[in-house]
Amino acid sequence: MVFLKLHAESARATADDFDRLRKQGAAASPLAGIPVSIKDLFDIRGDVTTAGSRVLQHEPAARNDAQSVARLRAAGLILIGRTNMTEFAYSGLGLNPHFGTPLNPFERPRGRIPGGSSSGAAISITDCMAFGALGTDTGGSCRIPAAYCGIVGFKPTARRVPLTGVFPLSPSLDSVGPLAASVACCALLDAILADESHPNLARADLRGARFAVPQSHVLEGTDSQVSASFSRALSALSRAGAHISEFALSELGELPHINRKGGLAAAQAYAVHRDRLATRAGEYDPRVSVRILRGREQDEADLLELRRARADLQQRLDPQLEGFDAVLMPTTPTIAPTLEELNTDQEYVRLNALALRNPSITNFLDRCAISVPCHELGTGPVGLMLMGKHGSDRRLLSLAAAVEALVSPGLPEE
């Protein structure tokens, strides 16, 4: 199931209103009437925000739009419905046992997963149901489904877009970002969400651009399709005049130890869900609740140490990356697995960790990043991730637009 709720009647009525205004010659937004989907993590006035869970289905309806939703509405975009997602956004795979898992367009009969947690958001784009999708990204939730499904997903610098009216996973890591068929579409949506002007996005000149490519941690476990696509993308950038610098960046290998008790996400998610889990744990997806409950392992001293380690890693890496326009890595080290491959909890845990490993680096380092498809048409979708500096969002989008023109095959075929 892609949509948990469709706003068919209100969407048609809004579209009719825009048509009448145009016929009357009234000035309307140039974006008026463009359809967008909204992840079921955002408040929409009059709707219950269920966050992909049955636990919240009897909560009061939202009295106001989330700030990001209000900005989309004010720009004239039409909200067509609430998209499916991993329960409470706590997985990179996109499975939802409560409402069903929307399937990846690539080899759909084989049942490949969409990636998560913004699963329905991605499929609303690949299946041409919406121009853009509003998602969130705490450890890759915009970029993983974009990579698995062959579209573009953007994680802006945290707090670039307000989190008001968004059900939290980890406030220290959460970001609001768009998914769309192209970098230009993501850039347009990002400008609206950040309440900035949105001129046409100019592609950066790649001649002389400097890209860092880590050789440790992020390339481990890379499958043959991802490895081949990543190598082709790097070669294309080199031919275009970009400078590719490969170096270890071994500090990234410290992340599994730093987050060994579940990290900030587990601690902060447990604070949100503690009371509900005490009385209604059986209503949660057990693969989600077991991750949230890891937050019980962390005391105040653990959290202080975790925040210190985060700041320390940022301070050590920032000087090493200062001279680069972006860091390049595969968004995910494998193409989308099938549902059958996730039958056992052991494989679910392993593949979820693998999917989250690379994109979650950006959230931990408090930077911005984007996933651009870089596979050959007709093969399994692969994402190329560009990670920029904190606050360099528009520069990163400009770079990504130029990279996309070199490496992207377009939307995958069914």
DSSP label of 134: E
Q: How far is CA 69 from CA 176, 234, 310, in A?
A: 11, 37, 31
Residue 335 has pLDDT above 60, yes or no: yes
Q: How many Å apart are CA 325 and CA 290, to the nearest integer?
A: 39
pLDDT in tens, 387-409: 999 999 999 999 999 999 999 99
Neighbouring CB atoms inside 10 A of 97's CB total 11
DSSP label of 332: S
Q: Which helix (H) or strand (E) holds 26?
A: none
pLDDT in tens, 208-237: 999 999 998 999 999 999 999 999 999 999
Question: Where do the H-state alpha helices sit in 252-372?
Answer: 255-258, 263-280, 286-292, 300-321, 345-357, 359-365
β-pairing, 35-39 vs 78-83, is: parallel
Tokens of 249: 């960046």
Phi-psi region of 89 (alpha: psi -120 to 50; beta: other; left: phi over 0): left
φ, ψ for residue 247 (rounded to 5)?
A: -155, 165
* Residues involved in catalysis: 39, 117, 141
pLDDT in tens, 44-73: 999 999 999 999 999 999 999 999 999 999
- CB distance 133 to 37 below 8 Å: yes
- Can you name the residues that pair with 241 across neighbouring β-strands? none
Query: What's the topology of domain 3-407?
Result: Amidase signature (AS) enzymes (3.90.1300)
- Which pLDDT score is estimated for 410? 60
Quote the mean pLDDT of the chain: 96
Comparing CA positions, the residue from 47, 94, 141 lying closest to residue 369 is 141
Instruction: Provide the whole-model pTM.
Output: 0.97
Q: How many Å apart are CA 248 and CA 32, to the nearest integer?
A: 48
**Where are the domains positioned within the chain?**
3-407
Mean pLDDT of 5-28: 91
pLDDT in tens, 110-167: 999 999 999 999 999 999 999 999 999 999 999 999 999 999 999 999 999 999 999 9
Q: How far is CA 204 from CA 241, 387, 402, in A?
A: 12, 15, 6
Give all strands (DSSP E) within 107-256, no chain letters: 132-137, 152-155, 175-180, 210-214, 243-247
DSSP label of 342: G
Residue 277 has pLDDT above 50, yes or no: yes
Tokens of 296: 């019980």
Length of the chain: 414
- Residue position matching structure tokens 């039409």: 78
Comparing CA positions, the residue from 365, 284, 357 lying closest to residue 321 is 365
